[in-house]
Every structure is written in C-alpha cells, then in structure tokens.
Structure 1
Amino acid sequence: MNDLSPARETAIWQDSETLECTSVIPEMPNTASFTFRAPSGAFFSYDPGQFLTLEIPVPGQPGGVVHRTYTISSSPSRPRSITITAKAQPDSIGTRWMLDNLRPGMRLRAIGPAGLFSNVGTKARKFLFISAGSGITPMMSMTTCMWDEGHDPDIVFINCAKRPSEIIFRQRLEHMASRTPGLDLKFVVEEPDPYSPWTGYQGQFNQLMLGLMAPDYLDREVYCCGPEPFMQAVRDALAGLGFDMDNYHQESFGVPVETEADQPELDDIVPDDDSSAEIHFATSGVTAKVAETDTVLAAARSVGLNIPSGCTFGVCGTCKVRKTAGEVHMVHNGGISEDDIEAGYILACCSNPIGKVEVEV
C-alpha cells in the first residue's frame, strides 16, 4: 500500500555520522568515483564545488589513518547520496588505499562539506569552466546542479587531459550537452589515443584556443581548477587578453580553501604601462628603454634592430632568441618548448621585459 501522507522532514547529514560506501565506479585507470550514503537516511546539503575530507584507514601511518581532501563531484540537487571522484598519483597513499580496498558496505569518517569554490550566489549568468585532469570534479558538480534545477545554462566547459580516453565524465557531459544548447563542451588533449583519430583541440591550452572556444570570454565568470602550472597559464592567458580578474575564481590540487582569510593572494606578474624596463641587446651593443607592456620584438624594432618574426602571436617560433640576464613575462601559444625555455630562450614577440634584461641580438 502506498504511503500518501505528506513527506516527513528529513534530517541533514552531519559529519558526526560515518559515511557508508554504496558504489565504486571506475572512471579510467587509477581513477574512480566513490558514492556514499548516510546510514541514518539523512540528506546531504552543500554547495556545488565544495569538498569533503575523508579519514582513510591506512596501516603503517601514524594513528593508522590519513586525512585526504576531495572535491565533491555529485550535485546537491541529488541529496540522497554524495560522491567524490579521486585519481591516484604515483605517490598516493589514501587514494591508492581506496582504489585497492574500499568497497560497498564499508564505512568511513568524513569532515565537511566545506570550501568557497562555488558559483552559488553569483550574479553571473554566463560561465567559463576551465579544468585539467581531475580538476573537472567541481565543474561537474556545478554543471549538474544547474542542469537539475532546470536553468537554461550558458556554460563553455573546457577540460584538458593527456588523451581522449582520460577525459573524466566525458560520456555524461556529452549526454547533457546533447539535450541543451547552453552547454558547450571543448576538450583539449596532449596526444590522441593509439589507433583512434582525434579531431578536437590538441596541444597545450593557450590564448588562441581560448579565443576560438569562447569568443565572448570577457563577458563570462571564469572558474578554474587543476595543477598550479596549468592555472598559472590560464591566468596569464586571461590577463594578457584584458580579462577582468575580479571575475576569475580558482581551486587548486593542494589543500582547498575553507575561509576567505585563507584565500591565497595571486601574485601574478602583469606588465604595467607605468613601469619602465631596459633591454640590452648584447650582440649589437644597443640598449632600449621601454615600458613593461612593450615586447622584446617591439623594443628591438624601435632601435633599428631586426629580429626575424612571423605570426607575432607566439605560435611559429621564428622570433626565438636567447635571454642571458633578467626576467621577462612570456605568454606564448606553443611556439617554444619547455626545454628551450629551460635553456634560456624566449619568444621576442610575446615576452615583456621586467626590469633590466639582456638578450643575444
């Protein structure tokens, strides 16, 4: 007989109660989604993008446990369960234990949910989600929440991965995108899978890709998550294109931020029109005094020197020169390798001098 009485009020889960694992779903090698329920039947209340800290029993560790923080990949619009998606790195301890040992029916203690990385409360209506690897998890939570709440989303969703087979949640995202025109998926991979053609974006995420993927990026609220070098590249790309960084938010792979006071200062270098710099062209014996916003290429031309150049967007690599002293702020689009950068080379077309700089020209 069906119970047609009004639904009784359901308690909200508190972290004094353990979580019971209900499923372990492999997502890709060394990555799985772990779903939990509250044994009491309590519902989960949190903001999309927040995180949980799990107490994981690992033999041999001090006290027999380790505490690891994971972003919640499920949505609060589905409150009967909560899911975290974890990827084990080569040196992982807690995540490795979960992949090898955690099974349905087992219980763990957890602390949270907590965290400030969420689009709840924002007045923005157009979003740009940029992530790399498992940094996709908070973006999945926010996207699913907007989907479930019946909004017409306006999301450009960019995820970067090593190979197409390593894009977490790809099928689920494509399913959602096939049912709403407001979810625009853009995947970037470093290399294709063997024997599987890839027709999407390939290489390192850069300014040119950003302009193609989201031409209206200046109008969007940006949320970014991934390794720090990746987020630094995203910040550099946005700042270099004149984006208002007050509309930029990020969550790192390190310990997530719980309070505003813990929010780290983003001490990025932004070339300034009012700050002067000096470039000494060592081979020619010429020195140019310029603004930080001038490029090395422009400075060379201003004093009658010729550095061969092509695209002037940091793509072709024609203007590569060796820097022998000082610092530059370089935002390139793939025209120089990491090995060349380590060896001291720069692309003159997209390098801004900071203070005194010397180059072999």
Structure 2
Amino acid sequence: MDVVTSAAAVWQDSESLECVSVVPEMPNTASFTFRAPSGALFSYEPGQFLTLEIPAPGQPGGVVHRTYTISSSPSRPRSITITAKAQSDSIGTRWMLDNLQPGMRIKAIGPAGLFTNAKSSSGKYLFISAGSGITPLMSMTTCMWDEGRALDVVFINCAKRPSEIIFRQRLEQMASRTHGLNLKFVVEEPDPYRPWTGYQGQFNQLMLGLMAPDYLDREVYCCGPEPFMQAVRDALAGLGYDMENYHQESFGAPVETEAQQPELDDVVPDDDTSAEILFASSGVTAKVAETDTVLAAARSVGLNIPSGCTFGVCGTCKVKKLKGDVHMVHNGGISEGDIEAGYILACCSNPIGKVEVEV
C-alpha cells in the first residue's frame, strides 16, 4: 500500500502563537517558547526576529508591539523561542514575565530581519555580544551545530556577572562536544564568594587579540547595546580589520530591509588626511596625519610625554586636551570621569583637524 505524506504547513503570522513553556534564565530574563496551534512548522533564518503584540493596560489601544530576536534555531521547526530581558522601564517584557503562562495565546508578526549568517560563505566566525544580544548568535550557533557543520567559531559574550551569562550551560555543553566552538566570557565583576578566573573588565583590543588572534580572517557578527557595538567597531577598525566583513544588530531596533539599515558614521583616521597639534605649554606645533597618535606627534617634534604600554592600558601618557577633537580607542587606562574632564591618552588618540593639548 502506498503511503502519501503531505508536507506540514508553514506557520503564517495570521495565526496566533500558543505559549508552551516559560523558562527563567536569570533575574528579569526568561525564554518563552511557542507553538502553532494548527501544528504548522516555523521557517526562518537564524538571527531573525519576531514582533509580539502584548497586552498593555493603560497604553493606547491596550497593546504594545515589541520586537525580540528568536533564540531558537530553524533546525528545530516545531516550536519557536524568544528570550527577553526586562529593563527598569519595560512594559511589554515586564507583562510577559509577570503574566504569560503556558496555554495562553499571543499575536506575532514575522519572522523578519537581515542579521543572519544563513547566506554567508565564510567558514570562520567571530560572534561578539553583550547581555541579551547573545540571542541571535545563539540561534546561529545552534543551527550550525544541528546541521553537523564543522564549526570554527570564537564566541564572545560580555555580561555584568558570571551568573548573568545567558545560555552559558547550553553553550558549554555544545563546546564540550566539538573542538570548533571556542567560548570566551567577559564579566565586569565576579559573583560574591565565587572566584572568577576568566576575563574581567570592559571588552577591548587586548582581549580581542588574546581571544581570537586570527580575528582578521573571521567574519564578525555583533549584537548588543549601541555603546558596546561602537566600542567593538572602534577596536576592530583600530586594528586594521576589514569592516566589510562586519555585521551588527542592535537588539533595541532590528531592521527588516536594507533601506532601514543605519549608516555607520564612525570616525576612522585617514592616512591621507592631515591634522595639526599645538602643544600649548611648549609652544610647538606638529603637522601630522590623522593616523599618527598624539604621542608619536610629540616625539616627532622632540617633546617627551611619559608613556608605558603605548596601548591605552597603563594610563601613563594621560594629558589634558584643551581644544579640538581626537579619536581615542583605549583599553581601560583612563576613567570616564577623566574623559569628561578633557583628558586623553596620548598613545591611543588620533588628532582630527586642529587639536591643542597641555604639553
């Protein structure tokens, strides 16, 4: 007897989703898994997002629409999962954490989004994320794992504390079964009474060089708050990385079309653009290229600025900037308070136009 098997339907967003599980990941963060009541399967690309219509009493129309990156993988099409973290001012995510339970239904729009490695021909990846920005990269990694691909991924995630690293156990389980998933976690501080022997502090160029020495050969996917992604872009550009191979997604505002992609108007010092530095206390002016540092310019005109590491770590070369703009990519050697007060590190500051420093 011939058996005819019909292909399962693909879920369309005209059908509401049914919540099947809520898994706490850490305080104020949970993974919400949904299924299609009709039994339809989910089709999307790893890294894409869903927009949920969430009840919001007191808001216009009684609902809010919030966008969440899908943290599950399309290789597991019977369900779909988003992982959400509530901020202090959250409305939609707060409602879900407090109210959404298995059996409840919610309307969703999507999937959509351009932040995906589905069409990438690269075999070498560098995934960099902070906080809940880990979600699209988790989806990409899981998909490659499920497909049995030979992984060559350096996976970097930054968090406040080790206990706040989302998906840590799941990632470690995958990494323990392949040599191609290289996990690197960076935390701002350890958990109380629990020693941390990994990277600590703010992600910087030094860490990047230690974590992924071959970063120039890797395709980079980055997701996190905009200041974090800006720091990553600065670190990569400062090390000569080809930014054509850099991709990013802000978990605050994912985009659906190429036209919506924001222009990255980063300052990149140009070797063919001239700059001028006036060393005010000495009365000496140096004409240099933008790619020259303030420290190098001082030395070129016979001035001595005390320095140590020359890589923005030790803070020895801190000087006061009186006028003008510099592009500074440091590695932790100067505080935000000093920066606000006008200080720079001469070893990692490139002059933009005319600059005056107190030397």
- The aligned counterpart of 1:58 is 56
**What are the Cα deviations for residues 48-97 of structure 1, in whole angstroms up to 9, with x where unaligned?**
00000000011111000000000000000000000000000000000000
Aligned with 1:270: secondary structure? Answer: coil
- The aligned counterpart of 1:289 is 287
Say yes or no: does 1:271 pair with 2:266.
no
Aligned with 2:311: secondary structure? Answer: coil
Structure 1 CA distance, aligned partners of 2:133 and 2:277? 39
**What are the Cα deviations for residues 129-165 of structure 1, in whole angstroms up to 9, with x where unaligned?**
0000000000000000000001111100000000000
Task: Kindly state the Cα deviation for residue 5 of structure 1 after the two structures are TM-superposed.
Answer: 4.4
Select 2:224's aligned residue among 221, 226, 229: 226
Aligned with 1:232: secondary structure? Answer: helix
Q: TM-score, normalised by structure 2?
A: 0.99
**What are the Cα deviations for residues 299-329 of structure 1, in whole angstroms up to 9, with x where unaligned?**
1111111100000000100000011111100
**Where do residues 239-254 of structure 1 align in structure 2 (5 Å cutoff)?**
239-254=237-252
Select 1:326's aligned residue among 315, 319, 324: 324
**What are the Cα deviations for residues 190-226 of structure 1, in whole angstroms up to 9, with x where unaligned?**
0000000000000000001000000110110000000
Structure 2 CA distance, aligned partners of 1:245 and 1:139? 19
Q: TM-score, normalised by structure 1?
A: 0.98
Show structure 1 runs of 4+ deviating over 6 A.
Answer: none
- The aligned counterpart of 1:312 is 310
The runs of 5 or more residues in structure 2 that have no matched partner are none
Aligned with 2:338: secondary structure? Answer: helix
Aligned with 2:330: secondary structure? Answer: coil
Structure 2 CA distance, aligned partners of 1:234 and 1:169? 22
Structure 1 CA distance, aligned partners of 2:199 and 2:231? 17
- The aligned counterpart of 1:164 is 162
Aligned residue type for 1:119: N
Aligned residue type for 1:301: R
Structure 2 CA distance, aligned partners of 1:338 and 1:21? 44
Structure 2 CA distance, aligned partners of 1:348 and 1:82? 50
Aligned with 1:357: secondary structure? Answer: strand
- The aligned counterpart of 2:136 is 138
> Aligned residues, how many?
358
Structure 1 CA distance, aligned partners of 2:127 and 2:3? 42
- The aligned counterpart of 2:208 is 210
- The aligned counterpart of 2:187 is 189
Preserved contact between residue 277 and residue 285 of structure 2 (Cα < 8 Å): yes
Structure 2 CA distance, aligned partners of 1:292 and 1:254? 33
Structure 2 CA distance, aligned partners of 1:314 and 1:334? 7
Percent identical:
87
The runs of 5 or more residues in structure 1 that have no matched partner are none
Select 1:147's aligned residue among 145, 148, 160: 145
Aligned residue type for 1:195: Y
Structure 2 CA distance, aligned partners of 1:283 and 1:112? 61
- The aligned counterpart of 2:123 is 125
Aligned residue type for 1:159: N
Task: Kindly state the Cα deviation for residue 7 of structure 1 after the two structures are TM-superposed.
Answer: 3.9
Task: Kindly state the Cα deviation for residue 286 of structure 1 after the two structures are TM-superposed.
Answer: 1.2
- The aligned counterpart of 1:44 is 42
